[in-house]
Amino acid sequence: MPLYLAKRLLLMLPTLFGILLLTFVVIQFVPGGPADELIQQLKGTSSVAEASGGGGGGAAARLGHRGLDPQQLAEIRALYGFDKPVTERFWLMIKQYLHFDLGQSYFHHEDVWTLIKSKLPVSASLGVWSFIIVYAISLPLGVAKAMRYGSRFDWVTTLILMAGYAIPGFVLGVLLLVLFGGGSFWQLFPLRGLTSDGWESLSLLGKVTDYLWHLVLPISAMVVGSFASVTLLTKNSLLEEIRKQYVLTARAKGLSERRVLWGHVFRNAMIPIVTGFPAAFVGAFFTGSLLIETLFSLDGLGLLSYESVIRRDYPVVMGALYLFSLIGLLTKLLSDLCYVLVDPRLRFEGVVA
């Protein structure tokens, strides 16, 4: 196990480096840039699209004849670090990331790590509650469907799950707003944010109630399409285990159906599900829905990432990519280690990652 861990951790370094290098190279060919945006603002416009130089360097030269002083253009490029060669900027970024210094946002004018932390509570609220609700409902439902395989209950719940899976989250969100957000019918739930005005003055119970009340519509829009995959995975895993030889042997020994199901079948069937918990949890935690956040006016990581790409706020784009890629790689390793914890028969000694 220690050797396997060492190999996996060492392989993470070139993987992470490759992700950052590829993204950095792509950024150099993206039209527009932060320098171009500032130049356009100085000229009284705000369209990045009008400036078409990759990475913010080429447009400055083309705009020089339109009225801006060359020294001013040079100062703008130096402000964003575009006066340095591309390779120097990349290695400087890597050196900062080694110390977990994600840089400064061009447009928010604050540390990228601080900016991400300020948006994290919104995405964490959506992700954690979505994860809890999906697994709390899907696991028991999957077990019930497996125990009633082929029954009317099985067919009806499958149709409901497939209908929910087929409905896009943002479409359901619009429908919920129209029905319950005061659109055309009932004003039952708030339309925006995670808390109401004056939330700080509420009692502890009032704060919790207000917070959960704000989450009802966005969480409902996010989780409906997620029930199908976990439920059907649970059902199919149980059915596969029930058909194996050891189940027939356990029954032949006189064990009760309850003992066979919960003592043998359920534990083995949960292996592919439990080992996916780390990735599912982190994915739900960090992968906020841009459309859901925009629809319900929630200022989270999804909206921050989208705005950063549109505004060419490269420190935020690269910093968020670095952080999420690192967490993703560690989560993948944790998922593999869960196999050993859940299934003691599996060993990683001698396995090459």
Determine the pLDDT at residue 49.
40
Kindly list the domain boundaries of the chain, sorted by start residue: 2-112, 121-310
**Of the candidates 7, 84, 6, which has an alpha carbon nearest to the alpha carbon of residue 352?**
7
pLDDT in tens, 187-241: 788 777 777 777 778 888 888 888 888 888 888 888 888 888 889 888 888 888 8
Whether 62 shows a pLDDT value over 60: the answer reads no
H helix count then E strand count, the chain: 18, 0
Determine the pLDDT at residue 60.
42
Whether 288 shows a pLDDT value over 60: the answer reads no
Structure-block tokens of residue 30: 């993206």
Whether 155 shows a pLDDT value over 90: the answer reads yes
pLDDT in tens, 234-276: 888 888 888 888 888 887 887 777 777 777 787 777 777 777 7
Lowest mean pLDDT, pick from 9-13, 129-133, 269-273, 339-343: 339-343
For tokens 């061009």, name the residue: 106
Q: Using CA atoms in the order 30, 35, 40, 46, what is the torsion angle rounded to 10 degrees?
A: 60
pLDDT in tens, 175-194: 888 888 766 677 788 777 77
Whether 350 shows a pLDDT value over 50: the answer reads no
| CATH superfamily of this structure's domain 121-310 | MetI-like (1.10.3720.10)
Average pLDDT, the chain: 77
Determine the pLDDT at residue 141.
92
